[in-house]
Amino acid sequence: MKTKDIVLVALFTALLIVLGLIPPIPLPGVPVPVTLQTFGVMLAGLILGPVRGGLVLLLYVVLALLGLPVLPGGRAGLAVLAGPTAGFLLGMIPGAILTGWLAGRPVAQGHLAQGAGVWWQVLRCWAASMLGGVVLVYAFGIYWMAHVAGMDFPKAVWVMLVFVPGDACKAVVAAVVAQRIRRLNLV
Amino acid sequence: MNAAFYVVGQSPIHRLPAGRKLATLALAGAALMWVHQWQFLCLALVLVLGLLALSGVTFRQLLIQVRLLGWFILALGAYSAWAESPALALEMMLRMSTLVIAAQLVSMTTPLTQMMTVVEKVLAPLDRLGWVRAERVALACGLTLRLIPELALQWQDIREAQAARGLKPGVLTMLLPMLLRTMRRAEELAEAIDARSSG
């Protein structure tokens, strides 16, 4: 872990925090305004890779639990761990790791980065974002919620499905944006 | 940044050492998992509310932080009552409310610096084992906190620059410039840190 890696992790965590403090955005056709949290999972994994991306989310979660008001709405604290949504928060860490791992190494400019190669990269990033940032996070979240509330796992999945379209859009934006950054080979 | 979260005070709760508060919370949480009678859970809730009163944190201040969780608990309780049994739902709601309030109370009476000290103490043995480099963790934490205002300003800058150019600044259009600047900043910062530590 070089200094630059630590700096990148710290910077990205700070970025996640700043993005998280932006008020939720209403999207047409989605019942609940979308927050930028899952976005952070996707971007961290796609841009920094599984190890540093995972560390970013770990730092984010730890700081939130320690008391930094970085959760949506300026919230923070240990209460989240005691509540039904703990799985969603903690699940962001493996989510970023999975996204980073599935997206693979960035392909440097000029090599598969033209034409159809770009679309393939974006698609791969999108799939990685969906599987890591959405499916895995929800899996953790729903599992924990079902466990503490005695809720039926399949029924809980149905409830969560309402969020998927919004998240699919987020994943598209994340993939497109991340792809532009990955190509530049800055990391 | 810490505005409405940590409640300044000198109550007995505030003065308890952070480590002790956290350990008690963890133990109490584990213990409550084994309690199933609603009478005892009620007692626990009343006890926690008593501690809340003792701490000087008002219910209103607490509510701001846990309101969202409160709605979740109610919704899950309603579902649980319908899908399983009202008794189970009540048990779950009592236990969860108690733990949520207790956890938030610890958070709201313990400033970040004290929490950080606990983290240092927990990491110390791991550091000696060679599993974790505690100074790196400290560097990362410190950097993140320091960079938040800087990045917030950068976000503002980008918004103004785009507005000045006649573009309508939305999160989506601002994301790419923000990320680019952030990545480039990493380079400068890393050099500065390396220079300082070797000089």
d(CA B26, CA B20): 10
B1 contact residues in A (CB cutoff 8 A): 68-69
- Look at residues B3, B19, B4 and name the one whose alpha carbon lies nearest to residue B110: B19
d(CA A74, CA B139): 24
B112 contact residues in A (CB cutoff 8 A): 66-68
B3 contact residues in A (CB cutoff 8 A): 69, 74
If you measure CA to CA, which chain A residue comes closest to B136?
Answer: A6
Mean residue pLDDT across chain A: 83
> Under an 8 A CB cutoff, do B68 and A8 touch?
no
- Identify the residue among A5, A7, A147, A180 best suited for mutation to test binding to B, counting B beta carbons within 10 A and taking the highest: A7
For residue B8, the distance in angstroms to the closest alpha carbon of chain A comes to: 13
CATH at A20: 1.10.1760.20
Instruction: Determine what percent of chain A is predicted with pLDDT higher than 70.
Output: 83
Predicted confidence band of residue A53 (pLDDT cuts 50, 70, 90): very high
Q: Kindly report the CA angle at B122 between B120 and B127, in degrees rounded to 5? A: 75
A74 contact residues in B (CB cutoff 8 A): 3-5
Nearest CB neighbour to B194, from listed A3, A55, A62: A3
Say if residue B141's pLDDT is above 70: yes
User: According to the model, what pLDDT value does residue A113 have?
Assistant: 53
User: According to the model, what pLDDT value does residue A121 have?
Assistant: 86
| Domain containing residue A64 | 3-183
Q: Which residue has the higher pLDDT, B32 or A115?
A: B32
Predicted confidence band of residue A55 (pLDDT cuts 50, 70, 90): very high
Say if residue B42's pLDDT is above 60: yes
Q: What are the pLDDT digits (tens) for B96-126?
A: 999 999 998 888 888 888 888 888 888 888 8
Q: Using an 8 Å Cβ cutoff, are A179 and A126 in contact?
A: no
- Average pLDDT estimate for A114-119: 72
Residue A37: CB atoms within 10 A of its CB come to 21
A75 contact residues in B (CB cutoff 8 A): 65, 68
Q: Using an 8 Å Cβ cutoff, are A107 and A121 in contact?
A: yes
Residue A115: CB atoms within 10 A of its CB come to 8
Residue with tokens 């994994």: A45
d(CA B159, CA B155): 6
**Which pair of tokens denotes residue A128?**
């990685």
Q: What are the pLDDT digits (tens) for B148-157?
A: 999 999 988 9
B183 contact residues in A (CB cutoff 8 A): 8, 47, 181, 184, 186-187
Predicted confidence band of residue A8 (pLDDT cuts 50, 70, 90): very high
User: According to the model, what pLDDT value does residue B4 have?
Assistant: 47
d(CA A32, CA A72): 14
Q: What are phi and psi of A74, to 5 degrees?
A: 75, 20
Q: What are phi and psi of A19, to 5 degrees?
A: -65, -35
Q: How many domains does chain A have?
A: 1
B102 contact residues in A (CB cutoff 8 A): 82
Instruction: Please report the number of interchain residue pairs, chain A to chain B, with beta-carbon separation below 8 angstroms.
Output: 180
For residue A166, the distance in angstroms to the closest alpha carbon of chain B comes to: 14
For residue B140, the distance in angstroms to the closest alpha carbon of chain A comes to: 5
For residue A2, the distance in angstroms to the closest alpha carbon of chain B comes to: 9
Residues with Cβ within 8 Å of residue B58, at least 6 apart in sequence = none
The three-state secondary structure class of A75 is strand
Q: Using an 8 Å Cβ cutoff, are A64 and A71 in contact?
A: yes
Say if residue B19's pLDDT is above 60: yes
The domains of chain B are located at 12-110, 133-198
d(CA B101, CA B93): 12
DSSP states of chain B as a string? Answer: --TTTS----SHHHHS-HHHHHHHHHHHHHHHTT---HHHHHHHHHHHHHHHHHHT--HHHHHHHHHHHHHHHHHHHHHHHHHT-HHHHHHHHHHHHHHHHHHHHHHHTS-HHHHHHHHHHHHHHHHHHTS--HHHHHHHHHHHHHHHHHHHHHHHHHHHHHHHTT----HHHHHHHHHHHHHHHHHHHHHHHHHHHH-
Predicted confidence band of residue A28 (pLDDT cuts 50, 70, 90): low
Residue B84: CB atoms within 10 A of its CB come to 15
> Under an 8 A CB cutoff, do B140 and A2 touch?
no
User: According to the model, what pLDDT value does residue A83 have?
Assistant: 84
d(CA B43, CA B121): 34
Say if residue A145's pLDDT is above 90: no
If you measure CA to CA, which chain B residue comes closest to A2?
Answer: B190
Q: What are the pLDDT digits (tens) for B49-90?
A: 999 888 888 888 888 888 888 888 888 888 888 877 888 888
User: According to the model, what pLDDT value does residue A25 have?
Assistant: 62
The pairs formed by A28-34 with CB atoms below 8 angstroms and a separation of 24 or more are: A29/A165, A30/A162, A30/A163, A30/A165, A30/A166, A31/A162, A32/A162, A32/A163, A32/A166, A34/A166, A34/A167, A34/A169, A34/A170
Give the up-direction half-sphere exposure of residue A136: CA atoms within 13 A in the CB hemisphere: 24
User: According to the model, what pLDDT value does residue A109 have?
Assistant: 57
Q: Using an 8 Å Cβ cutoff, are A114 and A155 in contact?
A: no
> Under an 8 A CB cutoff, do A69 and B69 touch?
no
Residues with Cβ within 8 Å of residue A184, at least 6 apart in sequence = A109, B180, B183
Predicted confidence band of residue B127 (pLDDT cuts 50, 70, 90): confident
Predicted confidence band of residue B34 (pLDDT cuts 50, 70, 90): confident
What is the value of ipTM here, to two decimals? 0.85
If you measure CA to CA, which chain B residue comes closest to A145?
Answer: B76
